[in-house]
Amino acid sequence: MPRKFLIDTDTASDDAVALIMALRHPDADVLGVTVVAGNVPVEQGASNALFTVELCDARVPVYLGADRPLLREPQHAFWFHGEDGLGDVGYRPQGRPADGYAVDFLVDTLRSATGVTLVTLGPLTNIALAIASAPEIVSSVERCVVMGGAACTAGNVTPAAEFNVWADPDAARQVLHSGLPIEMVGWELCRGAATLDADNRTYVRSFGTKLAEFALDCNRTALIACRRQSGEPGLGLPDPVAMSIALDPKIATRVSAHYVDVETRSDLTRGMTVVDRFDVTHDERNRAVWGELRARPANVKVCWQIDVLAWKESLYRSLHR
């Protein structure tokens, strides 16, 4: 029985590949795609999502969502993904977004469905707005796989923060404390051996399919940007890594539950995902530190390690046909 998926995305080049993985997966029933401002303005993100859905010959609605963060100014990543978010190749969809607001679609769908896998690939603005208007929808979500944050490691947009959480830290903080069953897939998991190296990219190109061509061509800007951002010779694909885990939880080989919070006040550490890796907030010894024992219950399952080969196989299967 296919599992119900909702995908919230700031659709740029890595999001697009993650969408393909879900849309082409035989066990995923994608109920809809909701778009949020992030990598690119929300209208451009919707255009990119529509193009990707059409390329997959899928019949899945794409809804326009929040065009700015809850409190902060919109921030985009044109330098990384290109002005249009898809490597400035010139992809244009035939269709238009669905009528209606993404947040209303999320609320309506989650009010009428259960056992949903919610995958978030961008800033968490839409999710925060949906939960604020209908807190009960949390119970309809079986898994919430979040591409976001950096667990006890460096960020990609500041030394402390990853883009999706940094762009709307207030939304991220609300969502992490909403009661959603969050599985956090940090930016660190798409780097190093998890990147597509030259051999991997040559292998994908050898598929000769329209999806394989698109996946590589729309990420041509991102490939250059990865090297500039973190010295990676390979192509980092954070959203597809998160989607591979949403499609197959076994790809996350080391996961543990911890208290996680988000910095929203400091400019230096805005958007930092503060992970209580050693559960020190639960320890009597820290009563002195906190004044009283303010145990912080674990609210997030943090992914620390993935099966790199399985992640890449998941990607290849989606592009091969």
Q: How many residues bind Ca ion (CB under 5 A)?
A: 5
At how many degrees (to 10) do helices 308-319 and 210-217 cross?
Answer: 120
Please report how close the Cβ of residue 99 comes to ligand RIB at its closest, in angstroms.
Answer: 26
CA distance 170 to 168: 6
Q: How many residues bind ligand RIB (CB under 6 A)?
A: 16
User: Considering beta carbons, is residue 156 or 273 the nearer one to ligand RIB?
Assistant: 156
Residue 76, classed as helix, strand or coil, is: coil
Question: What x/- string results for residues 17 through 46 when contact with Ca ion is judged by CB under 5 A?
Answer: ------------------------------
Please name which of 223, 179, 26, 40 lies closest in space to residue 121, comparing C-alpha atoms.
40
Q: In this chain, which stretch among 115-123, 185-193, 261-269, 308-316 interacts with Ca ion, using CB under 5 A?
A: 115-123
Burial class (CB in 10 A: 0-12, 13-18, 19+), 115: exposed
* Complete DSSP assignment for 98-142: PSSBHHHHHHHHHHH--SEEEEE-S-SHHHHHHHHH-GGGGGGEE
CA distance 82 to 59: 27
List of residues 6+ apart from 86 with CB closer than 8 A: 12, 13, 16, 48, 51, 218
Q: In this chain, which stretch among 92-100, 162-170, 210-218, 261-269 interacts with ligand RIB, using CB under 6 A?
A: 162-170
Please report how close the Cβ of residue 301 comes to ligand RIB at its closest, in angstroms.
Answer: 19
**Exposure class string for 204-219: b at 16+ Cβ within 10 A, else e:** beebeeebbebbbebb
Q: Is the dihedral of CA 99, 176, 115, 316 positive or negative?
A: positive
Question: Does the protein bind ligand RIB through residue 150 (CB under 6 A)?
Answer: no
Question: Does the protein bind Ca ion through residue 263 (CB under 5 A)?
Answer: no
| Shortest-Cβ-distance residue relative to ligand RIB | 163
Which of 5, 63, 105, 187 lies at the binding interface for ligand RIB (CB under 6 A)?
Answer: 187
Residue 304, classed as helix, strand or coil, is: strand
Residues 110-149 within binding reach of ligand RIB (CB under 6 A)? 121-122, 147
Question: Does the protein bind Ca ion through residue 85 (CB under 5 A)?
Answer: no
CA distance 138 to 110: 8
User: Considering beta carbons, is residue 275 or 281 the nearer one to ligand RIB?
Assistant: 275
User: Considering beta carbons, is residue 107 or 121 the nearer one to ligand RIB?
Assistant: 121
Question: What x/- string results for residues 208 through 247 when contact with ligand RIB is judged by CB under 6 A?
Answer: ------------------------------xx--------
What are the residues binding ligand RIB (CB under 6 A)?
10, 12, 14-15, 38-39, 121-122, 147, 156, 162-164, 187, 238-239
What are the residues binding Ca ion (CB under 5 A)?
10, 15, 121-122, 239
